[in-house]
Amino acid sequence: FASHVPLPTHRFPADFRWGVATSAFQIEGAADVDGKGPSIWDTFCRRPGVIADGSDGTVACEHYHRLDADLDLIASLGVDAYRFSIAWPRVRPTGAGDWNEAGLAFYDRLIDGLNARGIQPHLTLNHWDLPEALQATGGWADRATVQRFVDYALGIAARYGRRVAAITTHNEPWVMAVLGHEAGIFAPGIRDRAIAAQVAHHLLLSHGLAVRAMRAAGCSVPMGIVLNLSPTVPATDSAADRARALLEDGRLLRWYMDPLFHGRYPVDILDDLGEQAPVIEPGDLDAISVPIDFLGINYYTRSVASAGAPWVPGSSGLPLTDMGWEVHAPSLTELLLRLARDYPVPPLTITENGGAFPDACIDGRVADHDRTEYLAGHIAAVGEAMRQGVPVNGYFVWSLMDNFEWASGYAKRFGIVHVDYTTQVRTPKASAHWYRRFLQHQQALRASALGIPTGD
Ligand code: GBH
């Protein structure tokens, strides 16, 4: 069942990590099994109308109950690494207080199962599913949650720190802050710009303090944070559109990159926030700018800024994914070059990249040609940035398998493995077969560069 999409020819370094990614809430299910506490996403999904298909995460991909088979599935792809997240309320149901041994034991099995199969575990502490009990006391808007997160990080590092290859503090603080607290379309569903700005600051602060604390406790695992980034281009060359693009770039990219790597917030965005700017205490920016070992980048699409009527995706003629996001791989090269030019970045890891497409499983086959082309184009774009000198050390496809796509429910499919939600049968799509073949080809390129006969 071969795909004819050509394999990218760039030879990636031998220690480059190829992987697939998921997150806990999107695949695990078992929402209240074995002592797990509710998260803000469990609660949010029950609000009428917020999830497109009215679904929730209580069953999802039943990964919690299918762990061993899913580990074999990951291994069958031939990847070096697997990026997953820990559900904070599964291991510490109220966010503080007692730890839940059954929940902790699940991640022991996951991490040990990966290592036994020769796959590096890349652990994310927070992929959005804050314990509901902490939301009840103010959530990320409350500075006390910062210390709760540091305590949680210390517990996780103590338990798993000798068995994982990387620890990410937060996945996409912009999404949690802005989509969760300003647009209100993600949990916890708040609409208040000042709160969103404070949440963003607390997320960054808790990142820095958690890295410091885990290191001080003797954890020597590479640590970093994951940002969702895009280059922002003006819709036209007009002064108004260009000004708008600068503002949106400030809100999405510089608001996170400047404090992390320059130890200050961008002045134009602070000005724009005015009275809604966050409370920042002395020492906060020192903590946020703690040196990190890698910066994770989730890249899906470029962003187009328009001062007038909202930009219509697709009006430039670029293809769109099922999410309505433009497919434009050169923007990924451009983004990586810009980050390396403007900031003293550590090695960059592409921690998510992929696309939603309307995939049908017919006779046990999913011919996801669009996704395969998307992956091939974006992997080549990463290779091009590396050729121009950008340090990139890994690439993870989003996602291992179709899963709960947040406010879009189960209707949008990002997996390279198809999931039948009635039977929970997993079927690798053509893109999964293609990815495995690409990884084998990379190995062959390395071997031939070393003069090792490969036998083919
Ligand atoms: C990631 O977030 C998440 O980490 C992951 O859990 C999720 O499943 C995955 O992406 C797919 O959605 O509408 O053209 O302006 C992605 C963050 C923020 C990326 C919004 C695209 C909007 C593009 N996304 N952004 S557009």
* Phi, psi (deg, nearest 5) at residue 141: -75, -20
pLDDT digits (tens, 9 = 90+) for 216-275: 999 999 999 999 999 999 999 999 999 999 999 999 999 999 999 999 999 999 999 999
Tell me which of 122, 300, 412 to substitute to probe ligand 1's pocket, judged by most ligand atoms within 8 Å of the beta carbon: 300
- Ligand 1, atom 13, lies closest to the CA of 325
Q: What spacing in Å lies between the alpha carbon of 43 and ligand 1's midpoint?
A: 21
Per-residue pLDDT of 394-430, as tens digits, reads 999 999 999 999 999 999 999 999 999 999 999 999 9
What mean pLDDT do residues 347-352 have? Answer: 99
CA atoms of 345 and 350, how far apart (whole Å): 13
Collect contacts of 142-150 with beta carbons under 8 A, ≥24 apart: 142/202, 143/202, 143/279, 145/95, 145/202, 145/206, 146/202, 146/205, 146/206, 146/209, 147/209, 148/95, 148/96, 149/125, 149/206, 149/209, 149/210, 150/206, 150/209, 150/210, 150/213
Q: How far apart are CA 456 and CA 443, in angstroms?
A: 12
Q: What is the pLDDT of residue 2?
A: 66
Catalytic residue numbers, as ranges: 172, 352
Residue nearest to atom 22 of ligand 1 (CA): 325
pLDDT at 456 over 60: no
Compute the distance from residue 415 Cα to the ligand 1 centre, in Å. 14
Q: Decide: 128 in ligand 1 pocket, CB within 6 A.
A: no
CA distance 69 to 50: 32
- pLDDT one-digit tens code per residue, 56-96: 999 999 999 999 999 999 999 999 999 999 999 999 999 99
Does the CB atom of residue 126 touch ligand 1 within 6 A?
no
Closest ligand 1 atom to 172 CA = 4
ipTM of this complex: 0.92
Nearest to 23 by CA among 267, 352, 258: 352
Q: Which two tokens stand for residue 407?
A: 């406010």
| pTM (global) more than 0.90 | yes
End-to-end CA distance of the chain: 20
Contact criterion met (CB below 8 Å) for 297 and 225: no
Identify the residue whose C-alpha is closest to ligand 1 atom 26.
325
Ligand 1 contact, 410 CB (< 6 A) = no
Question: Which residues, including other chains, have CB under 8 Å from residue 450's CB and lie 6 or more apart?
Answer: none
- Which residue, among 406, 136, 147, 443, has the nearest Cα to 281 in the 3D structure? 147
CA-414 nearest atom, ligand 1: 11
Burial class (CB in 10 A: 0-12, 13-18, 19+), 163: middle
Is 90 exceeded by the pLDDT of residue 450? no
Residues 133 and 89: their CA atoms lie apart, in Å, by 9
- Residue 23 Cβ inside 6 Å of ligand 1? The answer reads yes
Ligand 1 contact via 353 beta carbon (within 6 Å): no
Residue of the CA atom closest to atom 11 of ligand 1: 405
What is the predicted pLDDT for the residue at 1? 66
**How close is the Cα of 274 to the center of ligand 1, in Å?**
28
Please indicate whether residue 325, judged by its CB atom, sits closer than 6 Å to ligand 1: yes
DSSP string, 395-442: EEEE-SB----GGGTTSS---SEEE-TTT--EEE-HHHHHHHHHHHHH
The answer to whether the bond into 188 is cis (omega within 30° of 0) is yes
Q: Quick one: tokens of 67?
A: 């762990």
Give the torsion sign (CA, 25, 27, 30, 35): negative
Per-residue pLDDT, 198? 99
Closest by CA position to 18, among listed 379, 320, 412, 333: 379
Contact between 325 and 301 under an 8 Å Cβ cutoff? The reply is: yes
